[in-house]
Amino acid sequence: MSEPAEISVLVVDDDFRVAEVHSQLVRAVPGFRVAGRAGSAAEARAMAAELRPDLVLLDVYLPDESGLNLLGQLEADVILATAAADAESVRTALSGGVYHYLIKPFTGAHLAERLTAYLRFRKQIGVSGHLSQADIDEALRTLYGAPGTPRPAKRGHAQITSQLVMEALERSDGPRSAAEIGTEIGISRTTAQRYLASLAQAGKVRVTLRYGSTGRPEHEYAWRPDQAR
């Protein structure tokens, strides 16, 4: 495996908003660039043949067929980024040779962790010459080492997520809930709530309450137009 200057990535997701979020997250990781985005299996095949990406960030649920059908057809390494969490999909993906399996919604830090491990793995096995058993074992530990216990996102990744939250609020026609913002940019409601609360504390967003017919009122957040990012 030759080692490219940057790892080129094809992002495949039928939701253009999610595809854009994932593209931004990929671009934020040093050593990676986005070669293109595809919204269907047919488009992914065509773009992979044209662009020859090193890596495909692939969803399972595509409008024309399952993304799992693409495994082995794209002539590229694959990381799954999908809401498909059933055991059969996971088994099929792993037997098809995917390098990692990320279940949506995931944070930028989680994706960056997998991409960084993949990049280090490629560098370790991309050297010419003979590899010892120790070299191979170390490369596999690099790629598949347990992510470990949850920890705060690195500062750079936290800034990226905060920026995505702010941009989603700025695009909105009115106040949005944490669940709505989380769905739009591909993070959990709890994570969105944490970033929104931090922005509210900093005075960058305005907090109101949405009263429904039943249950507790829900917090809503709106970007303050007098605030510069």
Asked whether residue 112 falls in the same domain as residue 11, the answer is yes
pTM over 0.85: no
Asked whether residue 103 falls in the same domain as residue 181, the answer is no
Residue type (1 letter), 197: A
Number of independent structural domains in the chain: 2
CATH number at residue 47: 3.40.50.2300
- Beta partners for residue 103, in sequence order: 82
Asked whether residue 104 falls in the same domain as residue 74, the answer is yes
Please list the pLDDT of the chain residue by residue as tens digits (229 residues).
Answer: 455 678 999 999 999 888 998 998 999 898 999 999 999 999 999 999 999 999 999 999 999 999 999 998 998 999 999 988 888 998 899 888 899 999 888 888 888 888 988 998 888 887 667 888 888 888 788 887 644 333 444 455 566 778 888 888 888 888 888 888 888 887 777 888 888 888 887 788 888 877 665 556 678 888 877 655 4
Instruction: Write down how long the chain is.
Output: 229
Asked whether residue 84 falls in the same domain as residue 129, the answer is yes
Burial class (CB in 10 A: 0-12, 13-18, 19+), 188: middle
In a domain, 39, yes or no: yes
Asked whether residue 81 falls in the same domain as residue 166, the answer is no
Domain that holds residue 83: 7-144
Helices first, then strands: H and E counts in the chain: 8, 7
Asked whether residue 17 falls in the same domain as residue 65, the answer is yes
